[in-house]
Chain A
Amino acid sequence: MTFLDFVEGPMFYVAAAVFVAAGLWRLAGIVRIGKKPDLAPPRGSASAGWIKGNLRHFFPRGLFAERTWMHILGGYGFHLGLFALLVFAAPHIAFVERLTGLSWPAMPRWGFIIAAEIAFAGLIVLWVRRFSDPVMRLISDRDDHVGTWLTFLVMLSGCLALQEAHDSLRATHMLLVNIWLIYFPFGRLMHAFTFVLSRGATGASYGRKGMNP
């Protein structure tokens, strides 16, 4: 078994299992704490508020957007770029097809390059702000930097492996992906899932009051 076989085979399966099991454990751990029923008579729907809260916070409010435009651009650029790379990059689709038989249209090479550039630019803006902005410097911790660097290295190695010219580049990318998957459920990267619970909690609470900011 070559190193590439190992990182794409057994190690990937272990990493994916850790990602799924620990991620579900963490989410279930939050939900199972539970909460007391609210006895105040509602003025609106908590369920509708839960949904609205989740959707509303995707969009920045004009008043604040003027003050935080750099963060918004960086955040949207990075997340949308990463999503496009993750889901529509041809090698990723081929990898999923090999494992599951499922396939869908890939984006063209120029699309990959644009998405990668946007994602890198966004991630770099967010990371530079972590140490250049006094607020972010104060509140950032080791987890923030580890998560950012791991994601950056996964993206960088992925771009280097795009040509699929060298097995070593592909193996490096898969090794980093596996490390990223294992780290994911234990760190702040989990916000990719916990945001739903957080927005939903506030949305439901405000929804009961007949108002949803």
Chain B
Amino acid sequence: MSEIAIKTLLAQTDSDLAAYMEACVHCGECAEACHFYEATKDPKYTPTFKLAPLVKAYKRHTAPLRGIRRMFGLVPDEVTEDELRDWEPLIYDSCTMCGRCTLVCPMGIDIAGTIRKVREGYAAAGIVPEGLQEARQHVEETGSPMGVTAKALMAQIKHQEQETGLPIPVDVKGADYLALLSSMEIMGYPEIIGAYAKIFKHAGLSWTISTEAYEATNIGVQIGSGPLAKTLVQKVVDAAEKLGVKHVISPECGHAYGALRWAGPNLIGRSFDFEVVHIIELLDQLRRDGRIPAGDKDGRRITLHDPCQIVRRGGLLKEPRRLMDDACSDFVEMEGAGIANLCCGGGGGVSANPRAEELKIKAFGCKMEQIGKIGGVEAVVVPCANCRGVFEDGLDAYDSDLEVIGLGELVADTLKDLPPSPAG
């Protein structure tokens, strides 16, 4: 088992990863950026420490000058299965791949991206937490980590059509945009479907939802299984190409965006025939084009959470802020907002891993403290359905009545009341 893990770990090694392995000076700064360390003060949560199995394997099998080091007994022993298993909670429970540690690292090491590669080794060897294995099983059976079927999706769509009085296009060939959703949105926050209907109607956008590829969540990226991630991306690509859409909308979900926008073409080995656009990017563009003018603002004191994979690792920093400024009259930022913002504590598959629940809630305490420092906040906008679920669990655990809302819903609720566009 450890042989498969090591072989897969080493197969992930490219010059970037080698540079990271060679540059770490063990300064420990990364601990100060990690919410798991910050919440527990346990040194084992130091991000660079989590990479130990990979570091050992790299030094033994790949590092330049290893032959000379071996003559002096300076090459580490082979990584054992026991070591891999000992490290498994550090790899899966205590890293959300948020990438905050990279900001503080004097060497600029992308520890989050490296953890993602380490997980490839673990997934290949089947050393994966039970919760993620169950999610994987759901994906293999239904295409969704929460087991959401097309039938369940249609039921939610029908309900939203009744709620909004607007038709929601499904499997429309030749539509310009294919909207993806996450399981969490479909089952937990279906009002986002109605919000899309309202916004796109105003914008006169030609769009559709596919019953063949509605799920944006890519559990393959979270577990670290390249083959599974590829299958899930391919499913979206096939549906998009079958419908002939020009754009695919990635929803308010962190990893989904990275999986499709940045990893997707590399996973399937070719570029897409369509453009991947994040819903925040699209809303911002529609707003700037004057197609969805803002109306009355929400007067509450509202702050914004930055989902790591969308902002820090996704590159969408200004877009959500412009939308917030248009929608809120009292928008306040957290300390360290933007690319240095704290993770919710449940990304990277942590929230799908019941074993990590207690640690996740502890880490969320850092977020609570961060919001508490602002003072008087009545609501927080969380443009990621997974983060939103973590917020709701965390706020419940900390007895807070702070309201959590999605950005799409906020935009829909604060649209200027215009007669619907005839093109819709």
Residues of A bordering B, CB below 8 Å: 22, 25-26, 28-36, 38-41, 43-44, 53-54, 56-57, 60-61, 63-64, 67-68, 71, 75, 133-141, 144, 185-186, 188, 190-191, 194-195, 197-203, 205-206, 209-211, 213
Instruction: Tell which of A28, A34, A43, A139 touches B315, judged by Cβ atoms closer than 8 Å.
Output: A43
Q: Let me know if A202 and B43 touch, CB within 8 A.
A: no
Q: Let me know if A40 and B265 touch, CB within 8 A.
A: yes
Q: Let me know if A63 and B335 touch, CB within 8 A.
A: yes
Q: Let me know if B340 and A53 touch, CB within 8 A.
A: no
Residues of B bordering A, CB below 8 Å: 13-16, 18-20, 22-29, 31-33, 37, 43-44, 46, 48-49, 62-65, 68-69, 74, 99, 102-110, 113, 261-266, 269-271, 275, 312-315, 317, 335-336, 339-340
Tell me the bound Cα distance from A29 to B151 in angstroms.
54
Instruction: Tell which of A64, A67, A71 touches B103, judged by Cβ atoms closer than 8 Å.
Output: A64
Name the B residues within 8 Å of A138 (CB-CB).
Answer: 43-44, 46, 49
How many A-B residue pairs have C-beta atoms within 8 angstroms? Tell me. 173
Q: Let me know if B102 and A213 touch, CB within 8 A.
A: yes
Q: Let me know if B22 and A136 touch, CB within 8 A.
A: no
Q: Let me know if A71 and B16 touch, CB within 8 A.
A: no
Q: A30-B22, A39-B269, A191-B25 are in contact. Are A198 and B108 (CB under 8 A)?
A: yes
Consensus secondary structure, chain A interface: helix
Q: How far is the CB of A8 from chain B (nearest CB, A)?
A: 26
Q: A67-B32, A209-B262 are in contact. Are A39 and B340 (CB under 8 A)?
A: no
Tell me the bound Cα distance from A138 to B42 in angstroms.
10
Which residue of A has the minimal Cβ distance to B264? A40
Q: Let me know if A139 and B48 touch, CB within 8 A.
A: yes
Which residue of A has the minimal Cβ distance to B262? A40
Query: 4 tightest CB-CB pairs across the interface, nearest first?
Result: A29-B64, A198-B23, A199-B108, A197-B19
Q: Let me know if A194 and B23 touch, CB within 8 A.
A: yes
Q: A71-B29, A133-B28, A136-B26 are in contact. Are A41 and B339 (CB under 8 A)?
A: no
Instruction: Tell which of B24, B43, B68 touches A135, judged by Cβ atoms closer than 8 Å.
Output: B43
Name the B residues within 8 Å of A41 (CB-CB).
Answer: 265, 271, 275
Q: Let me know if A188 and B26 touch, CB within 8 A.
A: yes
Which residue of B has the minimal Cβ distance to A185? B65
Q: How far is the CB of B371 from chain A (nearest CB, A)?
A: 16
Name the A residues within 8 Å of B15 (CB-CB).
Answer: 30-35, 197, 201
Q: Let me know if A201 and B33 touch, CB within 8 A.
A: no
Which residue of A has the minimal Cβ distance to B275? A41
Name the A residues within 8 Å of B107 (CB-CB).
Answer: 57, 191, 194-195, 198-199
Q: How far is the CB of B306 from chain A (nearest CB, A)?
A: 12
Name the B residues within 8 Å of A186 (CB-CB).
Answer: 65, 68-69, 74
Q: Let me know if A30 and B64 touch, CB within 8 A.
A: yes
Name the B residues within 8 Å of A38 (CB-CB).
Answer: 266
Q: How far is the CB of B397 from chain A (nearest CB, A)?
A: 25
Tell me the bound Cα distance from A82 to B146 in angstroms.
57
Name the A residues within 8 Å of B270 (CB-CB).
Answer: 39
Q: Let me know if A39 and B312 touch, CB within 8 A.
A: no
